[in-house]
Structure 1
Amino acid sequence: MEQNLSLYKIFNCVAEVGNISRAAKELYISQPAISKAISKLEQNLEVTLFTRNSRGVHLTTEGKMLYEHTKSAFETLQLGEETIRKVNELGIGHIRIGVSSTLCKYLLIPYLKEFIAKYPHIKVTIDCQSTFQTMELLGNRKIDIGLIAKPEQLRNITFFPIAEIEDGFVATKTYMDNLKLREADDHFDVFKSANLMLLDEENITRMYIDNYFRTYHVETNKILEVNNMDLLIEFAKIGLGVGCVIKDFVRDELKSGALIEVPFVAPISKRQVGFAYAANAEPSESLQKFIDFYQQKE
Structure 2
Amino acid sequence: MDVKLELYRTFREVARRGSFSAAAEALFISQSAVSQSIKNLESQLGVALFDRRGKQIALTPEGRLLYGYIDEGLKSIRQGEEQLGQYAKLEKGELKIGVSDTISRFVILNQLDSFHRIYPYIHLSIINGTSIEAVQMLKSRDVDIAFVNSPVKDAALEEHPFFKVHDVFVAGDEYRHLAGRPLTARQLADLPLILLERKSNARRRIDRLFAQQGIQIAPEIELGSHDLLLDLARINLGVSCVIEEFAAHYLKWNLVFKLQTEFAVPARWVSWCKLKSSALSPSGQIFADLIGTAPTVLQ
Q: Give the TM-score of the pair, scaled to structure 1.
A: 0.74
Pairing 1:1-298 to 2, within 5 Å after superposition = 1-3=1-3, 5-29=5-29, 34-35=34-35, 37-51=37-51, 56-90=56-90, 95-120=95-120, 122-138=122-138, 143-151=143-151, 153=153, 155=155, 157-173=157-173, 176=175, 192=190, 194=192, 196-214=193-211, 223-262=220-259, 266=263, 268-278=265-275, 282-295=279-292
- Alpha-carbon offset, residue 40 of structure 1: 4.5
**Comparing 219-228 with 252-261, which one deviates more in the overlay?**
219-228
1:108, 1:147 within 8 Å by CA — same for their partners in 2? no
Whole-angstrom CA distance in 2 between matches of 1:96 and 1:53: 58
Q: Tell me, what secondary structure is at the counterpart of 2:273?
A: strand
In 2, the alpha carbon distance for the partners of 1:60 and 1:100 equals 62
Deviations 1:61-88 (A, max 9, x none): 2222101111012112221332233334
Structure 1 residues 156-189: Cα deviation after superposition (integer angstroms, max 9, x where no partner) = 654433332222233442x548x99xxxxxxxx6
SS in 2 for 1:275: strand
Using the TM superposition, give the Cα deviation of residue 119 of structure 1 relative to its aligned residue in structure 2, in angstroms.
4.6
Aligned residues of 2:160 and 2:294 also touching (Cα < 8 A): no
Distance (whole Å) between structure 1 residues aligned to residue 77 and residue 249 of structure 2: 56
| In structure 1, C-alpha distance between the alignment counterparts of 2:73 and 2:216, rounded to whole Å | 70
SS at match of 1:7: helix
* Cα separation, 2, equivalents of 1:74 and 1:88: 21
CA distance in 1, matches of 2:116, 2:154: 28
Deviation at 1:154, TM superposition (A): 6.0
Q: After superposition, give the CA deviation of every residue in 1:17-50 in whole Å (9 maximum; x if it has no partner).
A: 3444543432345556545544553344333333
1:114 maps to amino acid: S
Q: In structure 2, what is the Cα distance between the partners aligned to 1:152 and 1:297?
A: 17
Using the alignment, how far apart are the partners of 1:79 and 1:8 within structure 2? 17
Equivalent residue, structure 2, for 1:186? none
Q: Measure the CA separation in 1 of the matches of 2:2 and 2:92.
A: 31
Report the 3-state secondary structure (helix = DSSP H, G, I; strand = E; otherwise coil) of the residue aligned with 2:98. Answer: strand
Distance apart, 1:276 and its partner CA: 3.3
Superposed CA deviations along residues 113-142 of structure 1, whole A, max 9, x for unmatched, are: 234444555554434332233445555665
Q: Percent identity?
A: 30
State the number of aligned residues: 287
Contact 2:95/2:283 (CA < 8 Å) preserved in 1?
A: yes
Instruction: Give the structure with the higher percent helix.
Output: 1
Q: Which runs of 5+ in 2 are unaligned?
A: 179-186
SS at match of 2:198: coil
Q: Which consecutive unaligned segments of at least 5 residues does structure 1 have? A: 181-188
RMSD: 3.9
TM-score (normalised: structure 2):
0.74
Report SS of the residue matched to 1:6: helix
Native 8 Å contact 1:169 1:261 kept in 2: yes
Instruction: Give the distance between the partners of 1:64 and 1:7, measured in 2 at CA.
Output: 16
Residue 27 and residue 203 in structure 1: after superposition, are their counterparts in 2 closer, same or farther (change >3 A)? Answer: closer
Deviates more, 1:261-270 or 1:163-172: 261-270
